[in-house]
Amino acid sequence: MRTTALIVTYNRLEKLKKCWEATSSIGFDNIIIVNNTSTDGTALWLERLDDDRLIVINSIENTGGAGGFKMGAEYIEENISTDWVFIYDDDAYPDENILNEFERVNKKGYAALCSRVVDPAGVDCKMNRPFKVLPLTLYQNMQYILMPERFLPKPKESSDCMTLSFVGAIVRYDVLIKSIDFIHDKLFIYVFYSYHLVLNGYKFKYAPNLLFIHDIPAISRSSTPSWKVYYLTRNLLLSRKFFQKSPPYSYCSIFFRLVKLSISCLANKRKYESLCCMLEGIFDGLKGKDGKR
């Protein structure tokens, strides 16, 4: 079984070094790093690495996480022979035993596997947890707020799921190649890749014995950066454009999520900046603007 690691990086050289140290010690057949036009010396550092498995793709512009993964997937389609692709950002890395555990997982019938993602202290990263049931309607979203355990798998129990995080997703090669167009690079960060796959009949499995460490700062766990508020807001509205026949969220659900996000902005230390970014995201989402801010 051939495995490929696909990593996207942008201006986080110190994080990337840690990611590389962990990744290179694991027996991946190929390691692809997409450099999203970093300006912190990343390109020069990558040039100095000596590993026959490493392939560096230097983008001419920062296309965001989704754009970087799409670029990597297109390269894999044209140049790499593999069976499974392990996807993650430069601030994450797989556990040293992940390939041994991957061999033991029942993969039959699944298009992709979702790893358990924890922070360096071993706490599960909420942003990377998959949904076993996706809350689509206003009622379901209200239920999710009150009883999230109905929608999320138990952290240490294997189960089918409906979403994938781009940290710790392990996608079957043939599925990735068929679904490259589902990676919306113009959405910059907030993608609906897994929802596209679900609509096309693919199945995912949450496998908690497959472990990734997401080295994120405490502030990222407690509040949403202002720039991210803009993309979350705008792309939530754009979801209606990209999924005209079967949108992932109803209008009532979108309204509820925006209210929830505005409350989060008010709790942010930079509340004025966050609220301005949210308003900008609403205007651009209603105008149908995609791509960079």
Triad 61, 66, 68: Cα angle to 5°: 45
Q: What are the residue ranges spanned by the domains of the chain?
A: 3-218, 223-287
Tell me if residue 112 falls in helix, strand or coil: strand
Residue 27 has pLDDT above 70, yes or no: yes
Strand-strand pairing, 204-214 and 159-161? antiparallel
Tell me if residue 151 falls in helix, strand or coil: coil
Tell me if residue 193 falls in helix, strand or coil: helix
Q: Are 115 and 212 in contact (CB under 8 A)?
A: yes
Reported confidence tier of residue 222, pLDDT bands at 50, 70, 90:
low
Task: Report the pLDDT value the prediction gives residue 192, as an integer from 0 to 100.
Answer: 86
Task: Report the pLDDT value the prediction gives residue 220, as an integer from 0 to 100.
Answer: 52
Specify burial of residue 5 (Cβ count, 10 A radius: 0-12, 13-18, 19+): buried
Assigned CATH for 3-218 = 3.90.550.10
Q: Is the pTM of this model over 0.95?
A: no
Reported confidence tier of residue 78, pLDDT bands at 50, 70, 90:
very high
Residue 221 has pLDDT above 60, yes or no: no
Residue type, 143: Q
Of 5, 7, 4, nearest in space to 16 by CA: 7
Beta strands in the chain (DSSP E): 3-9, 30-35, 54-58, 84-89, 92-94, 112-118, 159-161, 169-172, 204-214
> How confident is the model over 154-205, as pLDDT tens digits?
999 999 999 999 999 999 999 999 999 999 888 877 668 999 999 999 999 9
Distance CA 53, CA 30 (A): 5
> Any bridge partners for residue 58, and if so which?
35
Q: What is 140-155 written as a DSSP string?
A: HHHHHHH-GGGTS--T
Q: Mean pLDDT over residues 225-241, rounded? A: 90
